[in-house]
Structure 1
Amino acid sequence: MQTRFIQTILALALVSTAIPALAEPTQVDVRVLARGAKFIGGYSDSARVVLTDAETGEVLARGLTQGTTGDTARILEGVNGDKRLSTPDSAVFHATLDLATPRRVTATVTGPLSQPQAATTVTSTQWVLPGRSITEGDGWVLELPGLVVDVVEPAAFQPVKRGAEVPLQVSVTMMCGCALSENGPWKAGTTEVDYQVTVNGKAQPLQRMTFDSASGRYKVAYIPHDPGIHEIEVRAWDAANGNAGVGRTTLFVR
């Protein structure tokens, strides 16, 4: 009798250990905020989000943030003590993870994908518990530093004559695409934009560009004097937020 009782207990123990823990759907909302500015939004070329298991490298979810850049006043100033930065239309990546046990999850975000010359990557890691969704407030927010520097003129590999004036025009924005201006929330006057020309492999001194409020671009007239390959590098620096960006183009001077 005692032997049969022990056998029954052992059988129940084996059955109980064989039953796997049930997975629980756990929602994770990831938002990507441009440092000093707004959310990185869009629908096809916004910010890429990859959620992986930090210990195994298993990809748990991947996708893009989708939505708008959000409400400027709320992000920069807040609303009646409400600390949330996002609004319902703000760009977000929604993921649902089926978790049976706690997992240490790494979020890796890259963007803005619409401006590959400016795209950067940041990561963040935290524990995610089964059934404990990360959706309250702004969810899981990662901040992308940097500036988008786009050389509008001259076109890459444009042939020009030496001694001819070449208009150099550059668009500089926050990583969310928010424009710089003289009187708006993102001041052009606090962003230094310099350019350096390398002529046939020899770097020339840095030169400052000036902001043109009518076009919203930084401009300067460049006059090449020597024939050959002129490589132009534009550097933007926002000291207030520690943001930097670089853009490049090349001229053939004859």
Structure 2
Amino acid sequence: MKKPASIFILFALFSTGLFSQETSIMIRAQAKDAKFIGSSIGGAKILVKEVLTGRILAEGLTQGSTGNTDKIMNSDWQRNEPLSEESTAGFEAVLNIQEPTFISIEAYAPINKKQAVVMSSTQLWAIPGKEITGDGVVLEIPGFVVDILSPQTHERISESSEIEVTANVVMMCGCPVTKDGIWDANQYEVKAVITNEDGEKSELSLEQKDKPSTFTGKLSLEKGLYEVLIYAYDPLTGNTGVDRTNIIVN
């Protein structure tokens, strides 16, 4: 007895993947103790991979705003209450999968700040046609972005000069750090560690004064080659950040 032709047609369609479905997953990166990482700081680079093969299924940047400050930082959240809004930064990964697929999601952020970029990742099953929307998959990005503004890299400075050490310190979403602000400079420890060519170290505390996110201090050095490392540390959240440069005193 011959099998109906329709059975063979259905088998052919299934085997060629025509039953695969596009499946959307919203992915966001959120700075620890702060807001979402979006266009204003260059976004987070997102990679979605099939775990078993490492094949990249989708990639892109989170785009949009850092989100609603009052909702994220000042409100008591209810279970299942979304923190994001329509304009909040995210990346919509559209996967073309034929069966439930175990995937990894990686976020590298903030992607344009190479000395500060952190990778956060998670794994989950993606099921064809079962979209993940709203806040979606949120990956936490810990740390600070620290940029040394002065002294400049390889700057030659007179031994008789007073050296101004200045760094810009912001949250990983770019949110500003100010005294008594939402991100309180009084809470953070920001120091310069100066190392000479013999490996001897000294420390200088930096303070945020007039300009938001800008920490400064002054020192004098003898002739020699020096590495200047500046770190930021929050003892309450564990957020940290580092930048470093080299100078010549002559």
**TM > 0.5 between the two?**
yes
2: CA distance between counterparts of 1:39 and 1:80? 16
Quote the offset at 1:244 in angstroms.
0.4
Relative distance call for 1:177 and 1:80 in structure 2 (3 A) is closer
Relative distance call for 1:54 and 1:80 in structure 2 (3 A) is closer
TM-score, normalised to structure 1, is: 0.90
SS of 2:39's partner is: coil
Q: Could you tell me which residue of structure 2 aligns to residue 177 of structure 1?
A: 174
Partner amino acid for 1:93? F
Partner amino acid for 2:209? D
1:84 aligns with 2:71: no
Q: Structure 1 residue aligned with 2:116, among 114, 118, 128?
A: 118
Structure index of larger Rg: 1
Q: Report matched runs for 1:66-215 at 5 Å.
A: 66-78=63-75, 81=78, 83-135=81-133, 137-214=134-211
Partner amino acid for 1:191? Y
Q: Could you tell me which residue of structure 2 aligns to residue 242 of structure 1?
A: 238
Are the counterparts in 2 of residues 181 and 213 from structure 1 also a CA contact under 8 Å? no
Relative distance call for 1:24 and 1:109 in structure 2 (3 A) is same
SS of 1:206's partner is: strand
Partner amino acid for 1:231? E
Quote the offset at 1:217 in angstroms.
1.6
Are the counterparts in 2 of residues 86 and 138 from structure 1 also a CA contact under 8 Å? yes
Are the counterparts in 1 of residues 41 and 110 from structure 2 also a CA contact under 8 Å? no
Relative distance call for 1:250 and 1:196 in structure 2 (3 A) is same
1: CA distance between counterparts of 2:195 and 2:202? 9
Relative distance call for 1:223 and 1:80 in structure 2 (3 A) is closer
Quote the offset at 1:160 in angstroms.
0.5
Identity of aligned residues (%): 30
Are the counterparts in 2 of residues 33 and 39 from structure 1 also a CA contact under 8 Å? yes
Quote the offset at 1:16 in angstroms.
5.4
TM-score, normalised to structure 2, is: 0.91
CA offsets, 1:1-50, max 9 Å, x none?
xxxx2xx2599877655432510111111000000100101178311001
CA offsets, 1:44-88, max 9 Å, x none?
831100100011111100010111111101111337847211111
Are the counterparts in 2 of residues 44 and 64 from structure 1 also a CA contact under 8 Å? no
Give me the CA root mean square deviation.
2.1
Are the counterparts in 2 of residues 41 and 69 from structure 1 also a CA contact under 8 Å? yes
